[in-house]
Amino acid sequence: MKALMKTTKSATPATVDKKWVLIDAEGLVVGRAASIVANILRGKHKPSYTPHIDCGDNVIIINAGKVKFTGKKLTDKIYYKHTGYAGGIKETTPAKVLAGRFPERVLEKAIERMIPRGPLGRQQMRNLRVFAGAEHPHEAQNPEVLDLGERNRKNKVGA
């Protein structure tokens, strides 16, 4: 008798079930929150994960300006960027970015650096919405609230 072969089902763009997830980032540790959100955006938390298909969920992050760093990273960590001109390297610290005009960029960039570069990574990053305050315009999507502080006590500073 021949043994029946089982085939693995690959997800296709038509079969992907995308949900909306709401995360309150107040008091969360940046790196821990970013790695969890990156996995949700990629879809690695789903059993139907397929590496070459965007099967991740849409993520809304509120209170991104109130994220925390552990240790002395707030002042000692340095972010570099280059203008493209000779000698055009610029540096800043997370404290300056959080106190500046767009504090949500700290979390946004941390997540972006955990997503693979390329067309699929850019598509997955378009499923991320980050807001510095508590208000967001996506109530109509009925997002499912995900409390990362409850998952692990290390995810939240001062918990």
- Exposed/middle/buried for residue 144 (C-beta within 10 Å: 0-12, 13-18, 19+): exposed
Q: Of 3.90.1180.10, 3.90.550.10, 3.30.9.90, 3.30.1360.20, which CATH number belongs to 20-69+102-151?
A: 3.90.1180.10
Q: Report CA torsion sign: 21, 132, 140, 119.
A: negative
- Per-residue pLDDT tens digits for 51-106: 999 999 999 999 999 999 999 999 999 999 999 999 999 999 999 999 999 999 99
The 3-state DSSP composition of the chain as helix, strand, coil percent (nearest 5) reads 30, 15, 50
Element (H, E) at 23: strand 20-24
CB atoms < 10 A from the CB of 157, how many? Answer: 15
Higher pLDDT, 7 or 30: 30
Task: Please give the average per-residue pLDDT across 39-44, as a whole number.
Answer: 97
Q: What pLDDT band is residue 1 in, cutting at 50, 70 and 90?
A: low
- Per-residue pLDDT tens digits for 108-137: 999 999 999 999 999 999 999 999 999 999
